[in-house]
Amino acid sequence: MGWRWSEKRPPPKVARVSRSQYLEVLPEEAIVQLDRMAAVGTLVSSHLMQERLLQSEKMASIGQLVSGVAHELNNPLTGVIGFAQLLLARDLDEQTRRDVEIIYSEAERAAKIVENLLSFGRRRKAQKGLIDLNTLLQRVLELRSYDLRVKNIELELDLDPGLPRTMADPDQIQQVFFNIVTNAEHAMLSAHGKGKLKVRSRADKGYVRLSFIDDGVGIPPENLRRVFDPFFTTKEGGQGTGLGLTISYGIVDDHGGRIRVESRPAKGATFVVELPIVEGPKLPPPEREAERSARVEIGSRVLVVDDEENILELLRNVLTSDGHRVDTARSGDEALALLAEHGYDLLITDIKMPGMSGQALYQRVKEMDSELAQHTLFITGDTVSAETRSFLQRVDNPCLAKPFRMREVREAVDSLFSRPDPTPHESEAEKTGAPGITGRILVVDDEDVILTLLRSTLAADGHTVDTARTGIEALERIETYHYDALVLDIKLPGMSGPELHKRLWELDPRLARRTIFITGHLASPEVRRFTAQLRNPYLAKPLQMTEVREVVLRVLADGA
Protein backbone atom coordinates (compact mmCIF):
# COMPACT_ATOMS: atom_id res chain seq x y z
CA MET A 1 0.00 0.00 0.00
CA GLY A 2 1.45 3.35 -1.03
CA TRP A 3 1.59 6.47 1.08
CA ARG A 4 -1.24 9.00 0.77
CA TRP A 5 -0.91 12.57 2.05
CA SER A 6 -3.91 14.29 3.59
CA GLU A 7 -4.70 17.77 2.29
CA LYS A 8 -3.85 19.28 5.69
CA ARG A 9 -0.51 17.58 6.08
CA PRO A 10 2.31 19.27 4.16
CA PRO A 11 4.67 17.06 2.14
CA PRO A 12 7.98 16.21 3.81
CA LYS A 13 10.88 18.61 3.34
CA VAL A 14 13.71 17.25 1.23
CA ALA A 15 17.05 18.01 2.79
CA ARG A 16 19.87 19.13 0.48
CA VAL A 17 22.88 16.89 0.86
CA SER A 18 26.39 17.99 0.01
CA ARG A 19 28.63 15.83 -2.15
CA SER A 20 30.84 14.92 0.85
CA GLN A 21 27.79 13.92 2.95
CA TYR A 22 26.44 11.89 0.04
CA LEU A 23 29.72 10.03 -0.38
CA GLU A 24 29.80 9.19 3.34
CA VAL A 25 26.73 6.92 2.97
CA LEU A 26 27.86 5.20 -0.23
CA PRO A 27 29.75 1.89 -0.19
CA GLU A 28 33.44 2.22 -0.94
CA GLU A 29 33.04 0.26 -4.20
CA ALA A 30 30.46 2.78 -5.48
CA ILE A 31 32.75 5.70 -4.63
CA VAL A 32 35.61 4.06 -6.53
CA GLN A 33 33.29 3.49 -9.51
CA LEU A 34 32.16 7.15 -9.49
CA ASP A 35 35.77 8.33 -9.41
CA ARG A 36 36.59 6.06 -12.34
CA MET A 37 33.64 7.43 -14.33
CA ALA A 38 34.73 11.01 -13.61
CA ALA A 39 38.30 10.20 -14.64
CA VAL A 40 37.10 8.57 -17.88
CA GLY A 41 34.92 11.61 -18.62
CA THR A 42 37.86 13.95 -18.10
CA LEU A 43 40.10 11.71 -20.24
CA VAL A 44 37.56 11.57 -23.09
CA SER A 45 37.06 15.36 -22.98
CA SER A 46 40.82 15.89 -22.99
CA HIS A 47 41.27 13.41 -25.85
CA LEU A 48 38.59 15.12 -27.97
CA MET A 49 40.20 18.51 -27.36
CA GLN A 50 43.59 17.08 -28.32
CA GLU A 51 42.12 15.59 -31.52
CA ARG A 52 40.62 18.97 -32.42
CA LEU A 53 43.88 20.80 -31.81
CA LEU A 54 45.73 18.19 -33.88
CA GLN A 55 43.28 18.67 -36.74
CA SER A 56 43.72 22.46 -36.56
CA GLU A 57 47.52 22.11 -36.59
CA LYS A 58 47.38 19.80 -39.62
CA MET A 59 45.15 22.25 -41.46
CA ALA A 60 47.37 25.21 -40.58
CA SER A 61 50.68 23.58 -41.56
CA ILE A 62 49.48 22.08 -44.83
CA GLY A 63 47.52 25.25 -45.56
CA GLN A 64 50.75 27.27 -45.28
CA LEU A 65 52.54 24.86 -47.62
CA VAL A 66 49.78 24.93 -50.22
CA SER A 67 49.43 28.69 -49.92
CA GLY A 68 53.14 29.17 -50.62
CA VAL A 69 53.02 26.87 -53.65
CA ALA A 70 49.93 28.65 -54.99
CA HIS A 71 51.63 32.04 -54.59
CA GLU A 72 54.64 30.89 -56.62
CA LEU A 73 52.42 29.48 -59.38
CA ASN A 74 50.27 32.61 -59.71
CA ASN A 75 53.10 34.77 -61.08
CA PRO A 76 53.95 32.62 -64.14
CA LEU A 77 50.25 31.87 -64.70
CA THR A 78 49.55 35.59 -64.92
CA GLY A 79 52.11 35.85 -67.72
CA VAL A 80 50.77 32.85 -69.64
CA ILE A 81 47.13 33.94 -69.42
CA GLY A 82 47.89 37.60 -70.11
CA PHE A 83 50.13 37.11 -73.13
CA ALA A 84 47.72 34.51 -74.55
CA GLN A 85 44.97 37.15 -74.36
CA LEU A 86 47.22 39.68 -76.09
CA LEU A 87 47.92 37.19 -78.91
CA LEU A 88 44.23 36.38 -79.32
CA ALA A 89 43.54 40.09 -79.83
CA ARG A 90 45.75 40.03 -82.94
CA ASP A 91 44.95 38.96 -86.48
CA LEU A 92 46.05 35.29 -86.42
CA ASP A 93 45.65 32.50 -88.92
CA GLU A 94 43.14 29.81 -87.95
CA GLN A 95 45.64 27.16 -86.82
CA THR A 96 47.68 29.61 -84.69
CA ARG A 97 44.48 30.94 -83.09
CA ARG A 98 43.43 27.38 -82.17
CA ASP A 99 46.84 26.71 -80.63
CA VAL A 100 46.77 29.92 -78.58
CA GLU A 101 43.21 29.19 -77.45
CA ILE A 102 44.40 25.79 -76.16
CA ILE A 103 47.26 27.51 -74.28
CA TYR A 104 44.81 30.00 -72.77
CA SER A 105 42.27 27.29 -71.87
CA GLU A 106 44.89 25.08 -70.17
CA ALA A 107 46.31 28.05 -68.25
CA GLU A 108 42.79 28.89 -67.02
CA ARG A 109 42.46 25.26 -65.94
CA ALA A 110 45.72 25.52 -63.99
CA ALA A 111 44.49 28.78 -62.40
CA LYS A 112 41.33 26.99 -61.22
CA ILE A 113 43.49 24.27 -59.62
CA VAL A 114 45.48 26.96 -57.80
CA GLU A 115 42.22 28.55 -56.65
CA ASN A 116 41.12 25.19 -55.25
CA LEU A 117 44.45 24.85 -53.46
CA LEU A 118 43.90 28.26 -51.86
CA SER A 119 40.45 27.13 -50.77
CA PHE A 120 42.08 24.06 -49.21
CA GLY A 121 44.42 26.34 -47.29
CA ARG A 122 41.29 28.15 -46.06
CA ARG A 123 42.97 31.37 -47.03
CA ARG A 124 41.11 32.55 -50.12
CA LYS A 125 39.16 35.61 -49.17
CA ALA A 126 35.50 34.62 -49.16
CA GLN A 127 33.31 36.72 -51.47
CA LYS A 128 30.17 36.49 -49.37
CA GLY A 129 26.74 37.59 -50.45
CA LEU A 130 23.14 36.87 -49.51
CA ILE A 131 22.32 33.50 -51.10
CA ASP A 132 19.54 30.92 -51.22
CA LEU A 133 21.14 27.59 -50.25
CA ASN A 134 18.23 25.61 -51.74
CA THR A 135 18.83 27.21 -55.14
CA LEU A 136 22.58 26.62 -54.88
CA LEU A 137 22.01 22.99 -53.89
CA GLN A 138 19.59 22.41 -56.78
CA ARG A 139 22.11 23.94 -59.20
CA VAL A 140 24.81 21.49 -58.05
CA LEU A 141 22.46 18.51 -58.28
CA GLU A 142 21.28 19.57 -61.74
CA LEU A 143 24.89 19.60 -62.92
CA ARG A 144 25.38 16.08 -61.54
CA SER A 145 21.92 14.71 -62.37
CA TYR A 146 22.77 13.13 -65.75
CA ASP A 147 25.95 11.51 -64.44
CA LEU A 148 24.13 10.12 -61.38
CA ARG A 149 21.20 8.90 -63.49
CA VAL A 150 23.37 6.88 -65.90
CA LYS A 151 25.08 5.32 -62.88
CA ASN A 152 21.68 4.24 -61.47
CA ILE A 153 21.78 6.60 -58.50
CA GLU A 154 18.36 7.94 -57.52
CA LEU A 155 18.04 11.45 -56.08
CA GLU A 156 15.43 12.29 -53.43
CA LEU A 157 15.06 15.96 -52.46
CA ASP A 158 13.37 17.19 -49.30
CA LEU A 159 14.04 20.94 -49.29
CA ASP A 160 12.38 23.39 -46.92
CA PRO A 161 10.64 25.99 -49.16
CA GLY A 162 10.83 28.55 -46.36
CA LEU A 163 14.58 28.18 -45.85
CA PRO A 164 16.00 31.61 -44.90
CA ARG A 165 18.76 33.11 -47.03
CA THR A 166 22.18 33.65 -45.47
CA MET A 167 25.52 35.34 -46.14
CA ALA A 168 27.96 32.90 -47.77
CA ASP A 169 30.40 32.53 -50.64
CA PRO A 170 28.38 30.66 -53.30
CA ASP A 171 31.48 29.31 -55.10
CA GLN A 172 32.97 27.89 -51.92
CA ILE A 173 29.71 26.39 -50.61
CA GLN A 174 29.03 24.93 -54.06
CA GLN A 175 32.42 23.24 -53.85
CA VAL A 176 31.45 21.70 -50.48
CA PHE A 177 28.25 20.28 -52.03
CA PHE A 178 30.16 18.88 -55.01
CA ASN A 179 32.70 17.18 -52.74
CA ILE A 180 30.07 15.56 -50.54
CA VAL A 181 27.95 14.35 -53.49
CA THR A 182 31.06 12.92 -55.22
CA ASN A 183 32.04 11.01 -52.07
CA ALA A 184 28.50 9.67 -51.68
CA GLU A 185 28.46 8.57 -55.34
CA HIS A 186 31.72 6.64 -54.92
CA ALA A 187 30.50 4.98 -51.70
CA MET A 188 27.22 3.81 -53.27
CA LEU A 189 28.82 2.49 -56.44
CA SER A 190 31.40 0.62 -54.36
CA ALA A 191 28.63 -0.96 -52.27
CA HIS A 192 26.21 -2.22 -54.92
CA GLY A 193 26.74 -0.45 -58.25
CA LYS A 194 23.74 1.83 -57.69
CA GLY A 195 22.19 3.78 -54.84
CA LYS A 196 19.83 6.37 -53.44
CA LEU A 197 20.97 9.80 -52.26
CA LYS A 198 18.62 11.80 -50.06
CA VAL A 199 19.25 15.53 -49.70
CA ARG A 200 17.42 17.50 -47.02
CA SER A 201 17.44 21.16 -45.93
CA ARG A 202 16.03 22.59 -42.71
CA ALA A 203 16.37 25.73 -40.56
CA ASP A 204 16.88 25.20 -36.83
CA LYS A 205 18.04 27.44 -33.96
CA GLY A 206 19.77 30.07 -36.07
CA TYR A 207 21.38 27.56 -38.47
CA VAL A 208 20.59 26.11 -41.88
CA ARG A 209 21.14 22.35 -41.76
CA LEU A 210 21.84 20.45 -45.00
CA SER A 211 21.92 16.64 -44.83
CA PHE A 212 23.29 14.26 -47.47
CA ILE A 213 22.20 10.66 -46.76
CA ASP A 214 23.57 7.82 -48.90
CA ASP A 215 23.06 4.06 -48.77
CA GLY A 216 26.67 3.20 -49.50
CA VAL A 217 29.17 1.02 -47.68
CA GLY A 218 29.32 3.27 -44.63
CA ILE A 219 32.46 4.33 -42.80
CA PRO A 220 34.30 2.01 -40.38
CA PRO A 221 34.55 3.42 -36.83
CA GLU A 222 38.35 3.64 -37.05
CA ASN A 223 38.06 5.94 -40.09
CA LEU A 224 35.32 8.29 -38.81
CA ARG A 225 37.83 10.57 -37.09
CA ARG A 226 40.05 10.70 -40.16
CA VAL A 227 37.61 11.55 -42.95
CA PHE A 228 38.48 15.27 -42.77
CA ASP A 229 42.24 14.68 -42.50
CA PRO A 230 44.36 16.00 -45.38
CA PHE A 231 45.20 13.33 -47.98
CA PHE A 232 43.16 10.61 -46.23
CA THR A 233 41.30 8.48 -48.78
CA THR A 234 40.05 4.91 -49.07
CA LYS A 235 39.77 5.15 -52.86
CA GLU A 236 42.10 3.32 -55.18
CA GLY A 237 45.16 5.11 -56.52
CA GLY A 238 44.31 7.78 -59.08
CA GLN A 239 40.65 8.05 -57.98
CA GLY A 240 41.03 10.69 -55.32
CA THR A 241 43.49 13.05 -53.65
CA GLY A 242 42.07 12.92 -50.13
CA LEU A 243 41.61 16.71 -50.15
CA GLY A 244 37.91 17.06 -50.98
CA LEU A 245 36.49 16.73 -47.48
CA THR A 246 39.45 18.60 -45.98
CA ILE A 247 38.70 21.55 -48.26
CA SER A 248 35.02 21.30 -47.28
CA TYR A 249 35.91 21.30 -43.58
CA GLY A 250 37.96 24.47 -43.99
CA ILE A 251 35.30 26.29 -46.04
CA VAL A 252 32.48 25.50 -43.60
CA ASP A 253 34.67 26.45 -40.63
CA ASP A 254 35.50 29.78 -42.31
CA HIS A 255 31.77 30.46 -42.58
CA GLY A 256 31.33 29.94 -38.83
CA GLY A 257 29.56 26.63 -39.45
CA ARG A 258 30.02 22.95 -38.67
CA ILE A 259 30.38 19.81 -40.78
CA ARG A 260 30.12 16.30 -39.36
CA VAL A 261 29.53 12.73 -40.48
CA GLU A 262 27.43 9.96 -38.96
CA SER A 263 27.83 6.38 -40.15
CA ARG A 264 27.69 2.69 -39.39
CA PRO A 265 29.36 0.02 -41.54
CA ALA A 266 27.06 -1.26 -44.32
CA LYS A 267 24.40 1.29 -43.26
CA GLY A 268 25.48 4.24 -45.39
CA ALA A 269 26.68 7.64 -44.23
CA THR A 270 25.08 11.00 -43.47
CA PHE A 271 27.08 14.19 -43.96
CA VAL A 272 25.58 17.21 -42.20
CA VAL A 273 26.55 20.80 -43.03
CA GLU A 274 25.32 23.53 -40.66
CA LEU A 275 25.72 27.19 -41.63
CA PRO A 276 24.71 30.13 -39.41
CA ILE A 277 21.83 32.27 -40.66
CA VAL A 278 23.36 35.71 -41.24
CA GLU A 279 21.22 38.55 -42.58
CA GLY A 280 22.77 40.69 -45.28
CA PRO A 281 23.18 44.45 -44.79
CA LYS A 282 21.13 47.01 -46.65
CA LEU A 283 23.66 48.50 -49.04
CA PRO A 284 23.29 52.03 -50.39
CA PRO A 285 22.01 52.20 -53.99
CA PRO A 286 24.76 52.18 -56.65
CA GLU A 287 25.75 55.37 -58.35
CA ARG A 288 24.16 56.11 -61.69
CA GLU A 289 26.53 56.17 -64.61
CA ALA A 290 25.84 59.87 -65.16
CA GLU A 291 26.99 60.68 -61.64
CA ARG A 292 30.43 59.16 -62.14
CA SER A 293 33.48 61.21 -62.95
CA ALA A 294 34.93 61.38 -66.42
CA ARG A 295 36.56 58.26 -67.83
CA VAL A 296 40.30 57.72 -68.01
CA GLU A 297 42.13 60.10 -70.29
CA ILE A 298 44.38 58.70 -72.97
CA GLY A 299 48.05 59.46 -72.42
CA SER A 300 48.16 59.16 -68.63
CA ARG A 301 51.55 58.30 -67.16
CA VAL A 302 51.64 55.01 -65.25
CA LEU A 303 54.32 53.42 -63.06
CA VAL A 304 54.23 49.63 -62.69
CA VAL A 305 56.26 47.99 -59.88
CA ASP A 306 56.80 44.21 -59.68
CA ASP A 307 59.79 41.93 -59.18
CA GLU A 308 58.57 39.58 -61.95
CA GLU A 309 59.78 40.63 -65.41
CA ASN A 310 56.91 38.88 -67.22
CA ILE A 311 54.31 40.82 -65.17
CA LEU A 312 56.04 44.13 -65.98
CA GLU A 313 56.16 43.29 -69.69
CA LEU A 314 52.53 42.17 -69.73
CA LEU A 315 51.17 45.29 -68.03
CA ARG A 316 53.37 47.56 -70.14
CA ASN A 317 51.95 45.98 -73.32
CA VAL A 318 48.33 46.21 -72.15
CA LEU A 319 48.50 49.80 -70.89
CA THR A 320 50.61 51.02 -73.83
CA SER A 321 48.04 49.57 -76.23
CA ASP A 322 45.42 51.65 -74.40
CA GLY A 323 47.43 54.82 -75.08
CA HIS A 324 49.21 55.26 -71.73
CA ARG A 325 52.88 56.06 -71.17
CA VAL A 326 54.29 53.32 -68.97
CA ASP A 327 57.45 53.10 -66.85
CA THR A 328 58.43 49.98 -64.90
CA ALA A 329 60.45 49.24 -61.77
CA ARG A 330 61.53 45.92 -60.28
CA SER A 331 61.80 47.11 -56.66
CA GLY A 332 60.42 49.68 -54.26
CA ASP A 333 63.72 51.58 -54.21
CA GLU A 334 63.80 51.79 -58.01
CA ALA A 335 60.19 53.02 -57.97
CA LEU A 336 61.03 55.78 -55.47
CA ALA A 337 63.88 56.96 -57.71
CA LEU A 338 61.48 57.22 -60.67
CA LEU A 339 58.86 58.98 -58.52
CA ALA A 340 61.46 61.58 -57.55
CA GLU A 341 62.17 62.32 -61.23
CA HIS A 342 58.68 62.14 -62.82
CA GLY A 343 55.07 62.84 -62.01
CA TYR A 344 52.67 59.90 -62.39
CA ASP A 345 48.90 59.68 -62.72
CA LEU A 346 48.65 56.04 -61.62
CA LEU A 347 50.76 53.58 -59.61
CA ILE A 348 50.40 49.80 -59.96
CA THR A 349 52.47 47.87 -57.42
CA ASP A 350 52.92 44.31 -56.25
CA ILE A 351 52.44 43.89 -52.49
CA LYS A 352 55.13 41.26 -51.81
CA MET A 353 58.56 42.13 -53.20
CA PRO A 354 62.15 41.60 -52.05
CA GLY A 355 63.51 44.55 -50.09
CA MET A 356 60.91 47.31 -49.82
CA SER A 357 57.43 45.77 -49.93
CA GLY A 358 54.44 47.26 -51.72
CA GLN A 359 53.00 48.24 -48.34
CA ALA A 360 56.13 50.21 -47.43
CA LEU A 361 56.21 51.84 -50.87
CA TYR A 362 52.58 52.89 -50.49
CA GLN A 363 53.30 54.53 -47.13
CA ARG A 364 56.15 56.53 -48.71
CA VAL A 365 53.90 57.55 -51.61
CA LYS A 366 51.24 58.77 -49.16
CA GLU A 367 53.83 61.12 -47.65
CA MET A 368 55.11 62.30 -51.05
CA ASP A 369 51.92 62.51 -53.14
CA SER A 370 48.51 61.89 -51.51
CA GLU A 371 46.75 62.10 -54.88
CA LEU A 372 48.90 59.31 -56.35
CA ALA A 373 48.27 57.23 -53.21
CA GLN A 374 44.55 57.54 -53.98
CA HIS A 375 45.28 56.33 -57.52
CA THR A 376 47.28 53.23 -56.52
CA LEU A 377 46.29 49.76 -57.69
CA PHE A 378 47.69 46.75 -55.81
CA ILE A 379 48.42 43.40 -57.44
CA THR A 380 49.42 40.24 -55.60
CA GLY A 381 49.67 36.49 -55.82
CA ASP A 382 49.20 36.34 -52.05
CA THR A 383 45.73 37.50 -51.02
CA VAL A 384 45.95 34.56 -48.63
CA SER A 385 48.14 35.68 -45.75
CA ALA A 386 46.68 37.41 -42.71
CA GLU A 387 49.19 40.26 -43.14
CA THR A 388 48.13 40.98 -46.73
CA ARG A 389 44.43 40.65 -45.94
CA SER A 390 44.77 42.99 -42.96
CA PHE A 391 46.61 45.59 -45.06
CA LEU A 392 43.99 45.52 -47.82
CA GLN A 393 41.22 46.01 -45.27
CA ARG A 394 42.94 49.13 -43.93
CA VAL A 395 43.27 50.85 -47.30
CA ASP A 396 40.58 51.94 -49.69
CA ASN A 397 42.46 50.93 -52.85
CA PRO A 398 41.51 48.11 -55.23
CA CYS A 399 43.61 44.96 -55.51
CA LEU A 400 43.87 42.44 -58.35
CA ALA A 401 44.69 38.85 -57.44
CA LYS A 402 47.09 37.04 -59.76
CA PRO A 403 46.50 35.56 -62.24
CA PHE A 404 44.37 38.48 -63.46
CA ARG A 405 42.69 38.96 -66.83
CA MET A 406 43.21 41.95 -69.12
CA ARG A 407 39.59 43.00 -68.73
CA GLU A 408 40.06 43.13 -64.95
CA VAL A 409 43.17 45.31 -65.32
CA ARG A 410 41.36 47.77 -67.59
CA GLU A 411 38.31 47.93 -65.31
CA ALA A 412 40.47 48.55 -62.23
CA VAL A 413 42.49 51.29 -63.98
CA ASP A 414 39.26 52.87 -65.20
CA SER A 415 37.74 52.88 -61.70
CA LEU A 416 40.84 54.55 -60.21
CA PHE A 417 40.86 57.32 -62.81
CA SER A 418 37.15 57.81 -62.16
CA ARG A 419 37.85 58.65 -58.52
CA PRO A 420 37.54 62.29 -57.50
CA ASP A 421 40.73 64.00 -56.35
CA PRO A 422 41.27 63.88 -52.58
CA THR A 423 40.42 67.56 -52.08
CA PRO A 424 38.97 68.81 -48.79
CA HIS A 425 35.20 68.31 -48.71
CA GLU A 426 32.33 68.60 -46.36
CA SER A 427 31.92 65.46 -44.23
CA GLU A 428 28.63 63.62 -43.93
CA ALA A 429 28.37 64.77 -40.34
CA GLU A 430 28.65 68.41 -41.43
CA LYS A 431 26.03 67.89 -44.16
CA THR A 432 23.52 66.51 -41.68
CA GLY A 433 24.29 69.14 -39.07
CA ALA A 434 25.75 66.56 -36.67
CA PRO A 435 28.37 67.69 -34.15
CA GLY A 436 31.87 67.75 -35.65
CA ILE A 437 33.29 65.10 -33.31
CA THR A 438 35.64 62.64 -34.95
CA GLY A 439 37.90 59.90 -33.66
CA ARG A 440 39.77 56.72 -34.48
CA ILE A 441 37.37 53.78 -34.60
CA LEU A 442 38.00 50.04 -34.77
CA VAL A 443 35.31 47.91 -36.46
CA VAL A 444 35.36 44.16 -35.77
CA ASP A 445 33.22 41.78 -37.85
CA ASP A 446 33.91 38.56 -39.74
CA GLU A 447 31.83 39.71 -42.74
CA ASP A 448 33.80 41.70 -45.33
CA VAL A 449 30.68 43.44 -46.63
CA ILE A 450 29.90 44.79 -43.12
CA LEU A 451 33.49 46.01 -42.68
CA THR A 452 33.41 47.77 -46.05
CA LEU A 453 30.03 49.36 -45.40
CA LEU A 454 30.94 50.68 -41.93
CA ARG A 455 34.39 51.83 -43.00
CA SER A 456 33.03 53.88 -45.91
CA THR A 457 30.16 55.31 -43.82
CA LEU A 458 32.29 56.35 -40.85
CA ALA A 459 35.19 57.59 -42.99
CA ALA A 460 32.71 59.85 -44.81
CA ASP A 461 31.99 61.46 -41.42
CA GLY A 462 35.68 62.26 -40.96
CA HIS A 463 36.59 59.35 -38.68
CA THR A 464 39.75 57.29 -39.05
CA VAL A 465 38.61 53.68 -39.38
CA ASP A 466 40.54 50.43 -38.92
CA THR A 467 39.01 46.97 -39.31
CA ALA A 468 39.58 43.46 -37.96
CA ARG A 469 37.89 40.14 -38.79
CA THR A 470 38.60 38.28 -35.53
CA GLY A 471 38.90 38.97 -31.83
CA ILE A 472 42.60 38.06 -31.84
CA GLU A 473 43.31 40.48 -34.69
CA ALA A 474 41.35 43.19 -32.85
CA LEU A 475 43.39 42.68 -29.65
CA GLU A 476 46.62 43.07 -31.62
CA ARG A 477 45.39 46.39 -33.01
CA ILE A 478 44.18 47.62 -29.63
CA GLU A 479 47.58 46.85 -28.10
CA THR A 480 49.26 48.80 -30.94
CA TYR A 481 46.96 51.80 -31.52
CA HIS A 482 44.82 54.16 -29.47
CA TYR A 483 41.11 53.97 -30.34
CA ASP A 484 38.29 56.30 -29.37
CA ALA A 485 35.47 53.82 -30.03
CA LEU A 486 34.94 50.16 -30.90
CA VAL A 487 32.17 48.70 -33.08
CA LEU A 488 32.05 44.97 -32.24
CA ASP A 489 30.05 42.05 -33.63
CA ILE A 490 28.75 39.76 -30.88
CA LYS A 491 29.14 36.47 -32.75
CA LEU A 492 32.66 36.02 -34.10
CA PRO A 493 34.55 32.82 -34.96
CA GLY A 494 37.04 31.92 -32.24
CA MET A 495 37.01 34.67 -29.62
CA SER A 496 33.45 36.05 -29.44
CA GLY A 497 32.53 39.71 -29.02
CA PRO A 498 31.59 39.32 -25.32
CA GLU A 499 34.90 37.53 -24.64
CA LEU A 500 36.86 40.32 -26.33
CA HIS A 501 34.87 42.93 -24.38
CA LYS A 502 35.72 41.14 -21.12
CA ARG A 503 39.42 41.30 -22.02
CA LEU A 504 39.01 45.00 -22.78
CA TRP A 505 38.00 45.78 -19.19
CA GLU A 506 41.51 44.65 -18.21
CA LEU A 507 43.38 46.25 -21.11
CA ASP A 508 41.48 49.49 -21.74
CA PRO A 509 38.41 50.18 -19.54
CA ARG A 510 37.82 53.49 -21.37
CA LEU A 511 37.44 51.67 -24.71
CA ALA A 512 35.31 48.96 -23.06
CA ARG A 513 32.85 51.70 -22.06
CA ARG A 514 32.94 53.09 -25.61
CA THR A 515 32.07 49.77 -27.29
CA ILE A 516 29.05 49.55 -29.59
CA PHE A 517 27.81 46.01 -30.22
CA ILE A 518 26.21 44.85 -33.48
CA THR A 519 24.50 41.52 -34.11
CA GLY A 520 22.41 39.58 -36.59
CA HIS A 521 21.40 37.07 -33.89
CA LEU A 522 19.12 39.13 -31.67
CA ALA A 523 16.59 36.28 -31.59
CA SER A 524 19.16 33.91 -30.08
CA PRO A 525 18.54 33.25 -26.34
CA GLU A 526 22.28 33.51 -25.68
CA VAL A 527 22.50 36.94 -27.36
CA ARG A 528 19.29 38.12 -25.67
CA ARG A 529 20.71 37.21 -22.25
CA PHE A 530 23.92 39.09 -23.04
CA THR A 531 22.19 42.26 -24.29
CA ALA A 532 19.73 42.23 -21.36
CA GLN A 533 22.56 42.87 -18.88
CA LEU A 534 24.53 45.14 -21.21
CA ARG A 535 25.14 48.80 -20.44
CA ASN A 536 26.70 49.48 -23.82
CA PRO A 537 24.57 50.38 -26.86
CA TYR A 538 23.86 47.67 -29.43
CA LEU A 539 22.41 47.67 -32.96
CA ALA A 540 20.63 44.88 -34.81
CA LYS A 541 21.53 43.89 -38.36
CA PRO A 542 20.64 44.86 -41.04
CA LEU A 543 22.26 48.08 -39.88
CA GLN A 544 20.73 51.47 -40.60
CA MET A 545 23.55 53.91 -41.30
CA THR A 546 21.67 56.82 -39.71
CA GLU A 547 21.47 54.88 -36.44
CA VAL A 548 25.14 53.91 -36.68
CA ARG A 549 26.18 57.56 -37.08
CA GLU A 550 23.98 58.71 -34.21
CA VAL A 551 25.25 56.05 -31.80
CA VAL A 552 28.92 56.62 -32.72
CA LEU A 553 28.58 60.38 -32.22
CA ARG A 554 26.79 59.87 -28.89
CA VAL A 555 29.53 57.49 -27.65
CA LEU A 556 32.29 59.91 -28.69
CA ALA A 557 30.45 62.90 -27.21
CA ASP A 558 29.87 61.12 -23.88
CA GLY A 559 33.58 60.39 -23.62
CA ALA A 560 34.76 63.81 -24.77
| Residue ranges in the chain modelled with pLDDT below 50 | 1-19, 22-23, 44-45, 48, 122-124, 237-238, 283-296, 422-435
Q: DSSP readout, 11-80?
A: PPPPPP--HHHHHHTS-HHHHHHHHHHHHHHHHHHHHHHHHHHHHHHHHHHHHHHHHHHHHHHHHHHHHH
Write phi, then psi, for 440 (nearest 5 degrees).
-95, 125
Q: Residue 331's pLDDT is what?
A: 94
Q: How far is CA 390 from CA 172, 183, 487, in A?
A: 21, 36, 17
DSSP one-letter code for 261: E
Q: Residue 122's pLDDT is what?
A: 45
Q: Residue 393's pLDDT is what?
A: 72
CA torsion 94-99-103-104 (nearest 10°) is 10
Where do the domains of the chain lie, and which CATH numbers do they carry? 28-120 (1.10.287), 129-276 (3.30.565.10), 293-417 (3.40.50.2300), 428-559 (3.40.50.2300)
Q: Residue 438's pLDDT is what?
A: 81
- Judging by DSSP bridges, how do beta strands 153-159 and 195-204 pair with one another? parallel
**Chain-centroid distance, C-alpha 342:** 40
Residue 540's SS3 state is strand
Q: Residue 441's pLDDT is what?
A: 93
Residue 327's SS3 state is strand
Q: Residue 493's pLDDT is what?
A: 85
User: For the whole model, what pTM was predicted?
Assistant: 0.43
- Judging by DSSP bridges, how do beta strands 399-401 and 440-444 pair with one another? unpaired
User: In what helix (H) or strand (E) does residue 223 lie, and over which residues does it extend?
Assistant: helix 221-224
Q: DSSP readout, 487-530?
A: EEES--SSS-HHHHHHHHHHH-HHHHHTEEEEES-TTSHHHHHH
Q: Residue 23's pLDDT is what?
A: 47
DSSP one-letter code for 535: -
Strand order in the sheet with 269-276: 153-159, 195-204, 207-214, 269-276, 258-263
